Amino acid sequence: MPASFQAMRQAVVDGDVETARRIARELVDSDADLLDAIEHGFAAGIREVGDLWEAGDYFLPELVQGAEAMRAALEVLDPVIRRQRGTVEARGRVVIGTVRGDLHDIGKTLVATLLSANGFEVHDLGADVAVERFVDEARRVDAHLVAASALLTTTMPVQRDLVRALALAGLSAKVLVGGAPTSPAWAASIGATHAENALQAVKVAQNLVNG
């Protein structure tokens, strides 16, 4: 029987890489819903780590270790989710990354994983991505959607710069933004769409691409 959501969450909160990896392998060997496990188990853990960091209860070592535990679980689950998806025609092409000046990538990676699992062709640029690189990649793959994460208030304006740059480049890709300091009002003010979490990002992406 696979571990509970609570055990998954706790493995990440504790920064227990081996336990997170073991639980992920157990999930793969069972008939558990892997997307549910990610969102309600491991992702819940990384969100709690982030809350503890913001509250000053966790410091850099705990933050890094929690991220490593989350990454270990995703490394096991992501390839299986991709295989389960099979060769279904992609729902749309997405370019995703964390904006320049921001090195946070766990949340972004989670969104990329879920988008891929739900049938999107995902091009993940990583973290600290310049506006020009987003634009170049969106042009290269003829992206339907560009998703940009910002975890710092100081990097939020880069999302606005990205929307403007895509328009100036004559690209029709829609823009999805997210990250702790962002909001629907912020997204609307820059001509983008907002997603509160990874599961919502998938639903929003589907609506944007099909709309």
Structure tokens at 64: 């890094």
* Domains of the chain, CATH where assigned: 5-85 (1.10.1240.10), 93-210 (3.40.50.280)
Label residue 50 by pLDDT band (50, 70, 90): confident
- For residue 67, pLDDT over 90 is answered with no
- Asked whether the CA dihedral 182, 74, 54, 11 is positive or negative, the reply is positive
More confident residue, 116 or 115: 115
Q: What is the mean pLDDT of residues 39-57?
A: 85
- Contact status, residue 158 vs residue 101, Cβ threshold 8 Å: yes
Residue 136 is predicted with a pLDDT of 98
The Cα–Cα gap between 89 and 122 comes to: 13
Residue 81 is predicted with a pLDDT of 83
* pTM of the complete model: 0.70
Neighbouring residues of 28: CB distance < 8 A, sequence distance ≥ 6? 34, 76, 77, 80
The Cα–Cα gap between 165 and 177 comes to: 15
Residue 198 is predicted with a pLDDT of 79
Q: What is the mean pLDDT of residues 127-154?
A: 97
